[in-house]
Amino acid sequence: MSSTSKISSWKDSVLFTPGPLTTSQTVKLAMLKDFGARDGDFIDVIRDISQRLITQVAGLAPDVFTTILMQGCGSMGVESVISSVIPPFGKLLVINNGAYGERMYKTAKYLNIDTIELKYEEDQLPDIDEIDQCFIEHDGLTHIIMVHCETTSGIMNPIDQVGQIAQKHSVSFIVDAMSSFGAVDIDFDACCIDYLVSSANKCLEGVPGFSFIIARSEPFLKTQGYARSLCFDLYDQHKDLSQHGYFRYTPATHTLLAFQQALNELDQEGGVTARSERYKNNHQVLLEGMQALGFQSVVNPENQGYIITSFYYPEDPGFNFDTFYEALHKRGYVIYPGKLTHTECFRVANIGRIFESDIKDLLLAMKQVLADMGVSLSQTSVSNNNIV
């Protein structure tokens, strides 16, 4: 498909964003059915999803871990954990190297939770020794929280090393795996994870509407009465889901049906391993093509994940991001503005129902748009044949 041809009707504009993202036609079609929130068939859907998230996607034992589905976006899922599992006397350590780490810190402060923040540059990894030292300098820490794939920059944080520190100091470890779960193999035991939060509309290729928490049952079942919110009470949500099979309040029925289909398609693709390989290939094709166009990535290669990549603006004064964005959008391609506070950049994700051909189409469209803008390409730029 050339960059000037009409985008296929089911794909609409191709979303090179970290969620919402491009979904399959069959995932969309799964939403064309109405269910009551307490229909027996719909309760079966909820139970199927909850079980498969543990066994099929995470590869965990259902007698050790449990799944809690929570209405709302991923940040609401994160807030439900922060507000529900930290006791009144608890103390939280937030590892912050991006906008989503910043949001977690802000959430904890809103909830009046005693909170310590370790803050780092958005394109830099946290300092493991400093995290460990924090337990010497601050008494009473009970929980650590951090983002796995920080989509502010695309950096992959070392949850394995931080998890080991959490275990060393006998505190609970909470991981925001919003943009990694389903496409990155996560070893819960090696990373000492007690709570992992993700959402329907990321690497599992569903649509927005709910988040989910995979919790280690032993510590979680001791949190009754800790909740600081009625609607986000994770323990009570789990109680109703496990005892009755339904949500306390109105669920996103159509989103859940779409997600069940998305899990079917993950299984058909070959599971997390196969999806990871597709995304890795998308990223490699993207990176090579962007370098050929003269773009430079922000994050050091050894710290860069394959979910989303930040690129510096070209040095050419003729480059204007808004013009660049709108021209790509008119061609049927949606990228993401930058979110770094200290540099001008934009982001391109390669997750969702997109493939190598979509990446190559985007690169060709970018080449054409840059030419239309009169932006000079790098001397190392190569011909269209190398890009597509």
Asked if residues 201 and 19 have their Cβ atoms less than 8 Å apart, the reply is yes
3-class DSSP assignment, residue 142: coil
Indicate whether 196 and 150 sit together in one domain.
yes
Indicate whether 255 and 190 sit together in one domain.
yes
Indicate whether 215 and 108 sit together in one domain.
yes
Indicate whether 187 and 64 sit together in one domain.
yes
Domain harbouring 111, CATH code: 3.40.640.10
Indicate whether 235 and 203 sit together in one domain.
yes
Q: Whole-prediction pTM value?
A: 0.93
Compute the distance between CA of residue 79 and CA of residue 151 in angstroms, rounded to an integer.
18
In a domain, 102, yes or no: yes
For 53, 151, 162, the CA distances from 168, given in Å and listed in that order, are: 28, 28, 10
Which domain range does residue 315 map to? 14-18+271-387
Indicate whether 257 and 231 sit together in one domain.
yes
In a domain, 70, yes or no: yes
Indicate whether 184 and 316 sit together in one domain.
no
Closest CA to 174 of 147, 151, 134: 147
Q: In this structure, which amino acid lies at residue 354?
A: I
Asked if residues 142 and 94 have their Cβ atoms less than 8 Å apart, the reply is no
Indicate whether 113 and 238 sit together in one domain.
yes
Can you give the pLDDT at residue 376? 81
Q: Which of 222, 239, 268 is the last residue of a domain?
A: 268
With 0-12 / 13-18 / 19 or more C-beta atoms within 10 angstroms meaning exposed / middle / buried, residue 89 is exposed
Total domains in the fold of the chain:
2
What are the pLDDT tens digits along the chain (388 aa)?
Answer: 344 333 445 567 999 998 899 999 999 999 999 999 999 999 999 999 999 999 999 999 999 999 999 999 999 999 999 999 999 999 999 999 999 999 999 999 999 999 999 999 998 999 999 999 999 999 999 999 999 999 989 999 999 999 999 999 999 999 999 999 999 999 999 999 999 999 999 999 999 999 999 999 999 999 999 999 999 999 999 999 999 999 999 999 999 999 999 999 999 999 999 999 999 999 999 999 999 999 999 999 999 999 999 999 998 999 999 999 999 999 999 999 887 777 899 999 999 999 999 999 999 999 999 999 999 876 433 333 334 3
Q: Which of 221, 251, 268 is the last residue of a domain?
A: 268
Indicate whether 210 and 288 sit together in one domain.
no
Can you give the pLDDT at residue 339? 72
